[in-house]
Chains A and B, each alone.
Chain A
Amino acid sequence: MATAAEKTRERLSVAKTYKLYIGGKFPRTESGRYFKLTDKNGVVVANVCRGSRKDFRNAVVAARKAQPGWAGASAYLRGQILYRIAEMLEGRREQFTAELNRQGIAVRAAEKEVDASVDRLVYYAGWADKYQQVFSAVNPVSSSHFNFSVLEPTGLVAILAPEDSGLLGLVSNLAPAIVGGNTAVVLASASRPLSAISFAEVLHASDLPAGVVNLLTGYRDELTEHFASHMDVNAIVYCDGGKRAARQIQSLAAGNIKRVVERSGIEWSKPGAQHPYLIRDTQEVKTTWHPIGT
C-alpha cells in the first residue's frame, strides 16, 4: 500500500531551456538577455534568448567556416540530408504540434503546419540534384567557343524569417537556400520562436554538418542593421517587415553588394509557395567560354 508521502508526491516538470544554435552547438546568448514569451492568457511559456549582434557575428563565423565543405558536398548527399531532416521532423510530429499550439495556434492548424513543413523539406530534397539541369544552359555563341552557364551557390545567406509562420515559414526559406550549397544564419520569428529552436534539434540529428544552419532568436529591429551590413554575408533574404525595413536593408546591403531577396506577403501554406525559383534566388550564374576548334 502506498504511503501518504508517495500519494502526495508530485513530479517536478523539466522545462526546456530554449537556446541559440550556432556552429552545431546550443549556446545561450552571449549578452545574457532574454525575453518572455507568453500565451494568450498572459502565462509565461518560455524565456527566449534575445540574441545580440555578437551572437550574429559568431554565427557568421561558423557559417563561413562550413560553407566550402557544404558547397563541395555532392548534390545527392545534400538531398539525402534534407530528406533526413524531413524524416526527423516527421518523427517529432506530436512535439511540434503541441509546441505550435502553445504559441497560440489551434491544434488542427498546427498539425497541418507540421505536415506541410515535412512535405516542403521532401520537396526541396528532391530538387537537390535537379535544379542545376533546369537552370543551366549551353549558350549559342558566334565564335569558336563552347559556352555554358551553370549555377554556383551565392555563399553565406542571412535570412530574416517570416514573423507569422514560425515553423513552415522558416523551413520554406531555409530549405531552398541550403539545398543549393549555401550556408545560412537565420533570425527566427520573435513571436513564435520555440519551433525554430526545436527545429534546430531536428537539424542537429540529421547529419547536417555543424555551421551549415545557424539559428538565432531575438528582436528583428535590433538585428536587421547587422544582418544587412555584415561584409561577410553574401545574400540577405528578408520576409515581410515593411517599407522602412526594406529601405534600410537595401541601402546597407550595398556595402558589399549583397544579393537582396524580398519575400513579402507570401502565404507559405499554399502549394504555390514552393518552387525551384526560390533555390535560384541564392545562386550565381557562372558562364564559361571554352575554346574549341572550328
Chain B
Amino acid sequence: MSVSALETRPILPDLSKVPAVDEVGVDERVARFCSRSIKTTAKLEALKLALSMIDLTTLEGQDTPGKVRQLCQKAIHLHDAMPGLPQVAAVCVYPTMVGVARKALEGHDINVASVATAFPSGMAPLNVKLEDTRMAVAEGADEIDMVISRGAFLAGEYGFVFDEIAAIEEACGDAHLKVILETGELGTLDRVRRASVLSMHAGADFIKTSTGKIQPAATMQVTLVMLQAIRDYFRETGRRVGMKPAGGISNAKLAIHYLVMLKETLGNAWMTPERFRFGASSLANDLLMQLMKQSTGAYQSADYFSKD
C-alpha cells in the first residue's frame, strides 16, 4: 500500500466520545414532529416527494425472476391513470436478482439496489461478504445495502466492524454504499448513535435502520438519532451522508411525519432522493391512493391499484 493510500484510509474515531442520547428528549421531539399540520398543496408536494424517495423492495426467499420483473414494471408504471407522477428512486432486490432487475429497468432512470454481505444476518466470513458485494456490483447494482456484524458490534469489537465496512466500501467501487445498522438488534439509542458514527467514518454513503426482517424495524426515534448523527458528522467533516429508514413505514401519514423530521433536523439539502430514501413495499400504494384522493376527492380502494 502506498503512503498516500495510507493517509486517506479511514480512521476509527474514539466512540467513547460520542454523546449520550436523551431517550425522553427524543420521544418528546418525535411527538412534536407528529403534530405538524401538512395540508393541501404542501401535502401534495410531500406525497410526491415521498414517492420519489422510495426504494421499492422485495426481499423474500420466495422471490422469482417473474416477481422481480413485476416489481420493476410497478416501478415504471406506478399508476398510469394519473399522469405527472414522479418515479421511485430504486428497486431493491437480492444479489441473484440484480441482473433480472437491471434488464427489466433498461432505459429507465431507476436505480437497482442490492442487499449484500450475507443479508439479513451478516453471519459470514469477510471474503464471502466481499464476493457477494462484487458479484452484485458486477451484475449492475448501482447501490449496495450491506448489514453490519451486530454480534461483533455488541461484543465491543468496533475495529472489526469498522474494517469490514471500509473493505466493503472499497469493493463497491462506484456503487453507493448503504450501511444497515439493524437497530432492532442494537437495543439502545446510544448504541444506534455509536454505530451511525462508526459507519459514516468507515465510508458509508447512506446509513439505514433495518433489514425489515427484525421487529422493531424503523421507528421515528431511531431515525431521529441517526439524523442527528448525520448532522454532527456533516458539521465535523463537511460530508453529507444520506439516511434510509426501512421497514414498517406503510402509510402516507407516517411518511409525511418522517419528512417533517428530516426537514427540521437536516434542512432542505437532504430533502432529495439523493440523500433520503424509504425502504418500503406497501408505502407506494398508500401514497398513490392519497394522491388520487387529493385529485378526485373520493377515498380510494386498493382494488384499483397494482399489487406490489
Which of A167-175, A224-232, A241-249 lies on the face that meets chain B? A224-232
B301 contacts partner chain A, Cβ-Cβ < 8 Å? yes
Among residues 215 to 238 in chain A, which have CB atoms less than 8 Å away from a CB atom of chain B?
226, 229-232
Check if B299 sits within 8 Å of A255, measured CB to CB: no
Complex: A252 Cα to B302 Cα, angstroms: 19
| Per-residue B-contact encoding for A136-164, CB less than 8 Å = 1, 0 else | 00000000000000000000000000000
Complex: A230 Cα to B298 Cα, angstroms: 6
Check if B299 sits within 8 Å of A229, measured CB to CB: yes
Among residues 25 to 67 in chain A, which have CB atoms less than 8 Å away from a CB atom of chain B?
57, 60
A185 CB, min distance to chain B CBs, angstroms: 12
Residues in B whose Cβ lies below 8 Å from that of A232: 299-303
Complex: A57 Cα to B301 Cα, angstroms: 11
A95 contacts partner chain B, Cβ-Cβ < 8 Å? no
Among residues 52 to 103 in chain B, which have CB atoms less than 8 Å away from a CB atom of chain A?
none
Residue in contact with A60 in the complex, picked from B297, B299, B303, B304, CB distance below 8 Å? B299
Check if B299 sits within 8 Å of A57, measured CB to CB: yes
Among residues 292 to 308 in chain B, which have CB atoms less than 8 Å away from a CB atom of chain A?
297-304
| Per-residue B-contact encoding for A252-276, CB less than 8 Å = 1, 0 else | 1001100000000000000000000
Complex: A57 Cα to B299 Cα, angstroms: 7
Residues in B whose Cβ lies below 8 Å from that of A255: 298
Residues in A whose Cβ lies below 8 Å from that of B298: 229-231, 252, 255
Check if A231 sits within 8 Å of B301, measured CB to CB: yes
Residues in B whose Cβ lies below 8 Å from that of A252: 298
B302 CB, min distance to chain A CBs, angstroms: 7
Check if B299 sits within 8 Å of A226, measured CB to CB: yes
Complex: A256 Cα to B301 Cα, angstroms: 9
Complex: A60 Cα to B293 Cα, angstroms: 15
Check if A231 sits within 8 Å of B297, measured CB to CB: no
Complex: A231 Cα to B302 Cα, angstroms: 9
Q: Which residue of A lies closest to B289 (CB)?
A: A231
B216 CB, min distance to chain A CBs, angstroms: 22
Residues in A whose Cβ lies below 8 Å from that of B300: 231-232
Residues in B whose Cβ lies below 8 Å from that of A226: 299
Residues in B whose Cβ lies below 8 Å from that of A60: 299
In this complex, the interface size class of chain B, counting residues with CB under 8 Å from chain A, is under 10
Residues in A whose Cβ lies below 8 Å from that of B301: 230-232, 256
B46 CB, min distance to chain A CBs, angstroms: 18
Complex: A57 Cα to B290 Cα, angstroms: 12
B158 CB, min distance to chain A CBs, angstroms: 44
B265 CB, min distance to chain A CBs, angstroms: 28
Complex: A44 Cα to B299 Cα, angstroms: 35
A54 CB, min distance to chain B CBs, angstroms: 10
Residues in A whose Cβ lies below 8 Å from that of B302: 232
Complex: A232 Cα to B303 Cα, angstroms: 8
B38 CB, min distance to chain A CBs, angstroms: 15
Complex: A232 Cα to B300 Cα, angstroms: 6
Q: Which residue of B lies closest to A57 (CB)?
A: B299
Complex: A57 Cα to B302 Cα, angstroms: 13
Residue in contact with B304 in the complex, picked from A57, A229, A231, CB distance below 8 Å? A231
A256 CB, min distance to chain B CBs, angstroms: 7
Check if B297 sits within 8 Å of A229, measured CB to CB: yes
Residues in A whose Cβ lies below 8 Å from that of B297: 229
Complex: A81 Cα to B170 Cα, angstroms: 64
B81 CB, min distance to chain A CBs, angstroms: 12
Residues in A whose Cβ lies below 8 Å from that of B299: 57, 60, 226, 229-232
Complex: A232 Cα to B305 Cα, angstroms: 12
Complex: A266 Cα to B51 Cα, angstroms: 49
Residue among A229, A230, A231, A256 facing the most chain B CB atoms (10 A cut-off): A231
Residues in B whose Cβ lies below 8 Å from that of A57: 299
Complex: A270 Cα to B300 Cα, angstroms: 39
Residues in B whose Cβ lies below 8 Å from that of A231: 298-301, 303-304
Complex: A252 Cα to B303 Cα, angstroms: 18
Among residues 258 to 305 in chain B, which have CB atoms less than 8 Å away from a CB atom of chain A?
297-304
Residue among B297, B298, B300, B304 facing the most chain A CB atoms (10 A cut-off): B298
Complex: A229 Cα to B292 Cα, angstroms: 13
A59 CB, min distance to chain B CBs, angstroms: 11
Q: Which residue of A lies closest to B292 (CB)?
A: A231
Complex: A71 Cα to B299 Cα, angstroms: 23
7 contacts between A and B (CB under 8 A): A57-B299, A229-B297, A230-B301, A232-B303, A252-B298, A255-B298, A256-B304
The 3 A-B pairs with the shortest beta carbon distances in the complex, nearest first, are: A232-B301, A231-B301, A229-B298
Could you list 17 further interchain pairs (A-B, Cβ under 8 angstroms) beyond the known A229-B297, A229-B298, A231-B299? A57-B299, A60-B299, A226-B299, A229-B299, A230-B298, A230-B299, A231-B298, A231-B300, A231-B301, A231-B303, A231-B304, A232-B299, A232-B300, A232-B302, A252-B298, A255-B298, A256-B301
